[in-house]
Structure 1
Amino acid sequence: MDVRRAADRALEQARSALARDEPHEAADHLAGALSHAPTLPEAHELLGRLAAQPGGGLDLFPLAPHVTAGGLAARAHLLAAAGFPEDGLPLLAAASGRSPGADWAGVPWVGDPALAVRIEPGLLVQVLMRLCTAVGDPAPEITRTTLRPYLTVARHAVAAHPEHAMLLGAGSALARRIGETALAVDWAARGARSRPSKLAEIWLGYAYRSAGRVPEALAALRRAVAHDPDDLSVYADIAGTLADHGRLDDALNWVDRALERDPEYDCAVHTAHRLRHRADGDLTHLVRLADFIRDHPDESHEHTDLADCCRDIPWLGGTPAAAPLPRGHAPAGNEPSADAVRRLRQVASLSWAHPPAAYDAAIPLILVPPHDLLALLAHPPADVAAPEIWACLGLLHHDAEEPWLESERRRLLLDLLDGGLDRVTEAALFALVVTAWIDPSARADVAEVVAGRLTEVAGRPGARSVAELAQATPDLGPVARATAAGMIRTAVIPRQRGRARNRLLLRWRRD
């Protein structure tokens, strides 16, 4: 059912409930209609009828703990109709924050210049910053359109309060996210002149960076450091900006300055490992970053450095684009249960953010007994992507408390390595590699197994896959790593890698 049909059906139910004199039920259905189509005229017409209820209909849309976005928007519109748009705007922005791609603010009262005069500038700053945290920088194209009404409010507010530094900075942050870089620079510069501060310089630095004015961006961020030398997040921002423009040595110097002040500061640690990996390509930097993430679950905010580094490296961010190995041998066993197949379908994919993320994605398979996971290897569903890989990852979650060297999961995976090169042995080897990423105590053992396997398959068809897995293995010795690199260099590299990945998906499903 498309959104218009869903909205029309919800409106039909709301009208029916109102005809039965059941306004609360009508309000529930109307909130649903707004969730599907926030600017639908028929929904706003019916909302006007509810506004005739006692108290302007506000009691029909309470601010309950789990209120829907449609409920927030309905209450915002009723507040605006009652003459309090300044109270309605934060609620409308909260709906936009939950679903930025929907046109929650595309209504006339939001664009009224009087709103910007009525709303307190500090409150508008909070509204704008909450919107900024809900979208990317820059925002996706559709989100740029739906957030423009809020930029209109900011324009009117800046006209009414031209020297309000925080308003200018927050408005700049929103403007740069929706592609208005010239406006972002202008407002941020005015804010920094009006009230110099660390935050004003950060906003100005980001605005310059979005506009491609890198020297000015770096100068502003350095001024931010001068305002507050202990804010290490700015050091990381400077390092990232320098690295993105080819000044890797300077970037690493800034990272080192931050780490000298606090070796455990998460932004600096993430940036350092990412940049050092960019500098020399050593897998150790990514493994240490994964260890840091595991040992520091309460970080200041979400980071994507590890995923960004792993994205284009075979096995670290997904199955490689080369043609798959043959189905080959499979463990003997009964057919898997329907529940096992269902759970496999829920988690299976050809890509993952990084090896620890692949391990985490397989957690639901803890509900599939090991004998059923082995049955999935023997009888892989034809419509599931990379079923062997996920079945082997599922094995890692059973009896996970057992020490690695004496564990049943190790024994099962080593048993699966017996035989020639095929998808089962490849999947078992990948599960071993993932184990090394998540469990430092297993690294020496896994590295030894992988090195031995590398020696066994040298010169055989399909050896490239093992070599790529070896390159993804933590703590692999330099000789084995050099051997793997040589095998990859001499292997036939598929043409048109993008198409190869599509063919891989089709063959996983067809074979």
Structure 2
Amino acid sequence: MPEDDPALSAEEELALARLALAEGDLAHAAGHVTAALVQAPTLPEVHETLARIDAASGGDLELFPLGHHAYVGAVVARAHLLAAAGRPAEGLDLLAAASGYAPGADWAGVPWVTAPELPERLDPERTARILMQICAAVPDPVPRRLRDPLRPYLTLARNAVTVHPGHPLLLGAASALARRLGEIALAVTWAARGVRARPTKLGEVWLGYAYRSAGRTREALAALGRAVALDPDDLAVYADIAGTLADNGRLDEALEWIDRALAKDATFDCAVHTAHRLHFQRDGDVGHLVALADFVRDHPDDSHEHGDLAECCRSRPWLGQVTPAGGAVLDALRQALGGEGADPVALRLDALEPPSAMRTASAAAPGLDVEVAEVAGPDPREPRRATTCQLWRYEGTTPAPTLPTPSTEAAERIRQLAHPAWPHPPAAYDAAVGLATLELADLLGLLVHPPEAPATALGRVLSGQDPSLWVRCVQVWACLGLLHHRTDEPWAESTRRRVLLELIWGVEDWITEAALFALVTAAWVEPAVRPDVAGVVAERLADVAAVARERRVPIATSLAYLSLATPDLDPQTRELANALITGQSPAARATRWHRLRQRLAALFRRP
């Protein structure tokens, strides 16, 4: 039900509708009243005009047609006319569809929906199905900001339960709606009454959900257990029990339940999703999430949408978001932008920081004067391996891009797409397809010439509080765009692989992280490239550890997290990554000792 952009106010649309009605042009009158209805669904004048059009047409519902691309205003208008014609059940079906399409609009906030006598004209089974339709179309639970427009349906449920106090399906459906709208005590009461009236699998499930929302875990598990006894083949209930147990710290019991489900059907989607989520929750091995992503890719027609993979990846470094960069130059920049002190004019660094960090600071704080005490070896201004893709040149310790600025189209495309978070790596890969048509020169140019952040709420936050995060977003998405470059080329000899490898082994920079993330993402979405990617990641992290024995590596921790996100990584590299993150590796200890020696030497040099 595509919705047109409202160009006129409801009053203006009504005026045009009345004018068309006076001229006998009922089609145009209907079009204007539906537009008014979208903007003011409960305005009495809109409903009065709708009734006049209905009377003039002799009840011609085809003035408000339904179809594959029905306009939501026409759907709602038709619903009201059906109710007025004595067919309220059909009208409620259409209102429920409209509420599912746009739950924030008050489609049902009209007298006929909340009239106490309405349920007497409806079959209770039909009312229950309508309430279930609402439940299926809205989030669980419904966000507070969306609850008020749905409360008329809860009033309908109250009235229906009053008229039909012992109907089990109606009581269960009413409970499900009440629970979604935050009326937990009422949900428990209705669901319990429904089960007492007639115990059914569905009724016990509704009761279990209500108890769970009320924090009554023991009673919730008992109700769900009774549901399993009534229908041992409904494996979705097994998954619900497992999820409830896991949420309450009973992970071993949860896994026992999910194993029982998988023993019955190893491909049942709810059980598979829950199993991988719980195994990841237990041991943190990303292999469980990769296996889940593989299952999702190989089973696109699951019974319903699942959020387990996104839930596990949310807020985790590189699995669900860009890791923020650190370092003295960025700390000084953030303090200046946050108003925590005077604008910095001079900053002395113990060691050289990544070129992207230096460029970001100089762009955001042009008056900042940075002095680097020393450039420790191995020289961070040199690529770690020979490359034909040199992005930076140095004048002393000052970096400058070697590439021209990208095209305006490339800059605008990345501004629309770049974001610091994504549901999971395959979702990031899919989203980056919007960069597939950009030229290679543009994608590389974006890495060293990031455009300004967009004039959105997120863009303003990033540019005003942490410009470094926006730069990192651009670099990450540009490298994801490289994954879509010339995808017809076989991976081993492809341009995309070659360029990403050169970036990974180039000058130590945020671009190294972005390119490695792109390579890791390729391994998530294409199992055939996993051995190659795991080998590259292992080599790059080993090199980081070797360099870290001589000096600090600012990107070391981030690369370690990237390693842990890599499919099929060998155990030794995984162990090294964990050591780098916790700071317990010999490399980290050597780095701390080197920094201590620097501080002591500086003290003895003072007069």
Normalization by structure 1: what TM-score?
0.91
SS of equivalent to 1:383: coil
Task: Measure how far apart 1:129 and its partner are.
Answer: 0.8
Secondary structure class of the residue paired with 1:367: coil
Name the counterpart of 2:265.
262
- C-alpha contact 1:4 1:37 (8 A) present in aligned 2: no
2:29 to 22, 26, 31: 26
Letter in 2 for 1:256: D
2:431 paired residue number: 361
Within-5 A mapping of 1:190-229: 190-229=193-232
Alpha-carbon distance change, 374 to 8 in structure 1, aligned in 2, over 3 angstroms: farther
- Alignment-derived partner of residue 489 in structure 1: 582
2:564 aligned partner = 471
Q: CA deviation at 1:103?
A: 0.9
- Residue in structure 2 matched with residue 429 of structure 1 by the alignment: 516
Residue 508 of structure 1 corresponds to which residue in structure 2? Answer: none
Cα separation, partners in 2 of 1:49 and 1:144, compared to 1, 3 Å: same
Q: Which has the larger radius of gyration?
A: 2
The superposition leaves residues 103-124 of structure 1 with CA deviations (integer Å, 9 ceiling, x where unpaired) of 1111111111221110122221
When normalised by structure 2's length, the TM-score is 0.77
Unaligned runs of 5+ in 1: 493-511
Partner residue, 1:38: 41
Aligned to 1:453: 540
Q: Is the contact between residue 69 and residue 94 of structure 1 (CA under 8 Å) also seen in structure 2?
A: no
More displaced stretch, 319-328 vs 50-59: 319-328
> Partners in 1 of 2:325 and 2:258 — Cα distance?
37
After TM superposition, give the deviation of residue 382 of structure 1 in Å: 2.2
Q: Evaluate the alpha carbon distance shift between residue 127 and residue 481 of structure 1 in structure 2; reply closer, same or farther with a 3 A threshold.
A: same
- Bigger drift between 299-308 and 446-455 goes to 446-455
Which structure 2 segments of 5+ residues have no match?
Answer: 331-353, 360-390, 393-400, 455-469, 589-607
Q: Tell me how far apart the structure 2 counterparts of residues 76 and 201 of structure 1 sit (CA, whole Å).
A: 33
Deviations 1:190-231 (A, max 9, x none): 222222221111111111111111111111111111111111
Tell me if the contact between 2:26 and 2:57 (Cα under 8 Å) persists in the aligned partners. no
Amino acid at match of 1:427: A
Q: Deviations over 1:118-144 (max 9, x none)?
A: 012222122111100111221111322
CA gap 1:19/1:368 in 2 versus in 1, 3 angstroms? farther
Could you tell me which residue of structure 1 aligns to residue 274 of structure 2?
Answer: 271
Report deviation, 1:359.
0.3
Q: Which has the higher helix share?
A: 1
What residue number does 1:415 align with?
Answer: 502
User: Which of 396, 404, 414 is the aligned partner of 1:344?
Assistant: 414
Cα distance in 2 for partners of 1:154, 1:394 equals: 50
The answer to whether the 8 Å contact 1:306/1:354 transfers is yes
C-alpha distance after superposition, 1:331-361 (max 9, x if no partner): 7444433332332233211110011111011
The CA RMSD over aligned residues, in Å, is 2.3
Other-structure match for 1:495 = none
Query: Hey, what does 2:442 align to over in structure 1?
Result: 372
* 1:11 to 2:14 alignment: yes
**3-state SS, counterpart of residue 163 of structure 1:** coil
Equivalences for 1:201-350 in 2 at 5 Å? 201-323=204-326, 326-327=355-356, 329-330=391-392, 332-350=402-420
In structure 2, the partner of 1:178 is 181
Distance 1:172 1:4 in 2: 40
CA contact (8 A) 1:454 1:467 kept: yes
CA distance in 2, matches of 1:470, 1:11: 61
Count how many residue pairs are aligned between Structure 1 and Structure 2: 492
- The alpha-carbon distance between structure 1 residues 279 and 226, as it changes in their structure 2 partners (threshold 3 A), is same
Match of 1:53, SS? helix
- Equivalent AA in structure 2 for residue 475 of structure 1: D
Using the TM superposition, give the Cα deviation of residue 267 of structure 1 relative to its aligned residue in structure 2, in angstroms. 0.7
Q: Residue 64 of structure 1: CA displacement?
A: 3.0
Q: Which amino acid aligns with 1:490?
A: G
- 2:88 matches 1:124: no
CA distance in 2 between partners of 1:212 and 1:118 (Å) = 37
Amino acid in structure 2 at the alignment position of 1:478 = P
In 2, distance between residues paired with 1:419 and 1:63?
59
How far apart are the structure 2 equivalents of 1:420 and 1:337? 24
Alignment check: 8 A CA contact 2:261 2:271 kept: yes
CA contact (8 A) 1:3 1:37 kept: no
CA distance in 2, matches of 1:11, 1:102: 19
Distance 2:507 2:442 in 1: 23
Counterpart-to-counterpart distance in 2, 1:203 and 1:489: 45
> Structure 1 pair 423/312, CA: closer, same or farther in 2 (3 Å)?
same
Cα distance, 1:475 vs. partner? 1.8
Structure 2 equivalent of residue 387 of structure 1: 474
> Cα distance, 1:387 vs. partner?
1.5
Moved more, 200-209 or 38-47: 38-47
Moved more, 239-248 or 115-124: 115-124
User: In the aligned structure 1, how far is the partner of 2:541 from the partner of 2:9?
Assistant: 56
CA distance in 1, matches of 2:16, 2:324: 50
Shift of 1:312: 2.1
The 3-state SS of whatever aligns with 1:314 is: coil
Once the two structures are overlaid, the 10-residue window that deviates more, 327-336 or 73-82, is 327-336
* Mapped partners of 1:420, 1:333: distance in 2: 15
Distance in 1 separating the partners of 2:67 and 2:291: 44
Q: Which residue of 1 aligns with 2:527?
A: 440
Cα distance change, pair 190–428 in 1 and its aligned pair in 2 (3 A): same
Looking at structure 2, the residues matched to 286 and 117 of structure 1 have their Cα atoms a distance apart, in angstroms, of 51
Contact map agreement 2:239 2:270 (CA 8 A) in 1:
yes
Using the alignment, how far apart are the partners of 1:5 and 1:322 within structure 2? Answer: 47
Moved more, 403-412 or 237-246: 403-412
Q: Is the 8 A contact 2:89 2:126 kept in 1?
A: no
SS in 2 for 1:465: helix
SS state at 1:362 partner: helix
Find the residue that maps to 2:147 and give its secondary structure: helix
Partner of 2:396: none
Q: Which amino acid aligns with 1:467?
A: A
Q: How much identity, in percent, do the aligned residues show? A: 60
